């Protein structure tokens, strides 16, 4: 009888923890997936170490599974090597998808890449822009499938 009561208490404890932890994780996923860039209507700007980073994708609207032109413009200190963009999804491992950027002059860099269609149907993507020897900045945006 005591063994049964102990098992019931453990089950209730685990169930209670699950009911508390799962909503917290869902809320965290929702916060991390909030966009900070509307790539469909123009460029997006962030600042990193006193450098203004402007990010843009063309053509608009931005759609998955087609070749896209990625452009960043830097105002301020320039990196020692060309920046690059790693594309992915917040909270999901998508495998490598790097856009190499070529200098176009006056702090502008461009490259082409493809945003793939996620089998989950999720449409929130993240562009992690690395400025070598300076740091990283992240733009989170949605795409059209």
Residue 39 falls within a domain, yes or no? Answer: no
Q: Do 78 and 17 belong together in one domain?
A: no
Distance separating alpha carbons of residues 34 and 36, to the nearest angstrom: 7
Q: Cis link prior to 92 (omega < 30° from 0)?
A: no
Residue 95 falls within a domain, yes or no? Answer: yes
Handedness of CA 12, 13, 18, 20 (dihedral sign): positive
The pLDDT score that the predictor gives to residue 25 is: 42
* Burial classification of residue 118, based on how many CB atoms lie within 10 Å of its CB (0-12 exposed, 13-18 middle, 19 or more buried): middle
Residue 38 falls within a domain, yes or no? Answer: no
The phi, psi pair for 102, rounded to 5°, reads: -110, 140
- The enclosing domain of 128 has a CATH number of 2.60.40.1930
Residue 37 falls within a domain, yes or no? Answer: no
Total length of the chain: 145
Q: Do 65 and 134 belong together in one domain?
A: yes
Q: Do 125 and 70 belong together in one domain?
A: yes
Q: Do 17 and 49 belong together in one domain?
A: no
Which residues constitute the domain of residue 20?
1-32
- The structure's pTM equals 0.76
Q: Do 49 and 28 belong together in one domain?
A: no
Q: Do 21 and 73 belong together in one domain?
A: no
Q: Do 98 and 131 belong together in one domain?
A: yes
Residue 15 falls within a domain, yes or no? Answer: yes
The pLDDT score that the predictor gives to residue 93 is: 84
Residue 113 and residue 68 in contact, taking contact as beta carbons nearer than 8 Å: yes
Residues in the chain predicted with pLDDT less than 50, given as ranges, are 11, 13-14, 16-18, 20-32
Q: Do 24 and 50 belong together in one domain?
A: no
Number of domains in the chain: 2
Q: Do 2 and 60 belong together in one domain?
A: no
Residue 5 falls within a domain, yes or no? Answer: yes
The pLDDT score that the predictor gives to residue 28 is: 40
């Amino acid at each position: 009888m005591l063994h049964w009561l102990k098992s019931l208490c453990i089950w209730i404890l685990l169930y209670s923890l699950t009911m508390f932890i799962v909503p917290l994780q869902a809320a965290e996923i929702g916060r991390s997936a909030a966009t900070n860039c509307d790539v469909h209507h123009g460029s997006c700007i962030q600042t990193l170490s006193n450098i203004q980073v402007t990010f843009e994708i063309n053509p608009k609207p931005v759609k998955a599974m087609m070749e896209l032109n990625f452009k960043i413009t830097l105002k301020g200190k320039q990196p020692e090597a060309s920046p690059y963009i790693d594309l992915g999804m917040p909270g999901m491992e998508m495998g490598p998808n790097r856009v190499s950027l070529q200098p176009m002059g006056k702090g502008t860099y461009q490259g082409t890449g493809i945003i793939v269609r996620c089998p989950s149907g999720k449409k929130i993507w993240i562009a992690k822009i690395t400025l070598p020897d300076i740091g990283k900045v992240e733009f989170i945006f949605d795409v059209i499938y």
